[in-house]
């Protein structure tokens, strides 16, 4: 089943709708969805290394625009949707503490989290909740998410064949590794905020 899913992602890379799906997945990952775009981005870049930069750009644009939705959820809907999403990650108790102390260092929290596979939606929602300066939010989001996706594209553009061979040889191990990173991010985030 895992091999079929991987083969589907690789074969889907040349489909005309693939960039739109990648954009949509990245957009919702930055605001409401727990599903990261990496499991789709990796096979797409491996299948089409000549388009790795384009795919990274699609992800960057989706992440930034989705980040604004996350910010809006935090700023306008925190009492309903935002608190529910923050509650999933167990960060309710830290919210009040963050409001009083975060303005001095929140930009660096935003940039640091944006450079990792830790769920980005938590940072975007909390930025809105904290009414963090929208211009600093935009700069931090653009710098971190563009850098994150471009680093992935760089690695896949130049080492794509080696990475593809490794992934195909060790697909179950790679899938478990991705799962650990994604699920682990939910548990690590409360410790680092």
| Section 122-136 average pLDDT | 88
Higher confidence at residue 36 or residue 61?
A: 61
The predicted structure's pLDDT at residue 86: 67
Q: Per-residue pLDDT for 104 more than 70? A: yes
Higher confidence at residue 145 or residue 14?
A: 145
Q: Per-residue pLDDT for 185 more than 70? A: no
CA 119/CA 185 separation, integer angstroms: 6
Instruction: Specify the pTM.
Output: 0.75
Of the candidates 155, 152, 168, 87, the residue with the CA atom closest to the CA atom of residue 122: 87
Q: What percent of the chain has pLDDT over 90?
A: 22
The string of DSSP letters for 86-135 reads: HHHTT-HHHHHHHHHH-TTTHHHHHHHHHTSSS-HHHHHHHHHHTT--HH
pLDDT per position as a tens digit, 105-115: 888 888 888 88
How many other CB atoms are found less than 10 A from the CB of residue 69?
A: 18
pLDDT per position as a tens digit, 2-12: 566 666 666 66
């Amino acid at each position: 089943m895992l091999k079929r899913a991987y083969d589907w992602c690789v074969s889907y890379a040349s489909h005309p709708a693939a960039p739109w799906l990648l954009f949509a997945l990245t957009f919702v990952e930055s605001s409401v969805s727990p599903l990261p775009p990496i499991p789709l981005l990796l096979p797409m870049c491996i299948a089409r290394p000549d388009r790795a930069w384009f795919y990274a750009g699609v992800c960057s644009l989706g992440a930034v625009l989705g980040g604004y939705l996350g910010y809006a959820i935090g700023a306008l809907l925190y009492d309903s949707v935002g608190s529910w999403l923050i509650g999933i990650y167990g960060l309710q108790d830290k919210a009040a503490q963050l409001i009083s102390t975060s303005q001095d260092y929140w930009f660096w929290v935003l940039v640091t989290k944006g450079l990792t596979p830790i769920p980005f939606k938590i940072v975007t929602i909390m930025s809105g909740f904290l009414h963090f300066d929208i211009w600093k939010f935009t700069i931090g989001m653009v710098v971190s998410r563009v850098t994150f996706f471009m680093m992935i594209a760089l690695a896949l553009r130049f080492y794509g064949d080696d990475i593809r061979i490794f992934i195909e040889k060790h697909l179950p191990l790679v899938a478990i590794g991705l799962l650990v990173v994604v699920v682990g991010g939910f548990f690590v985030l409360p410790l680092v905020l």
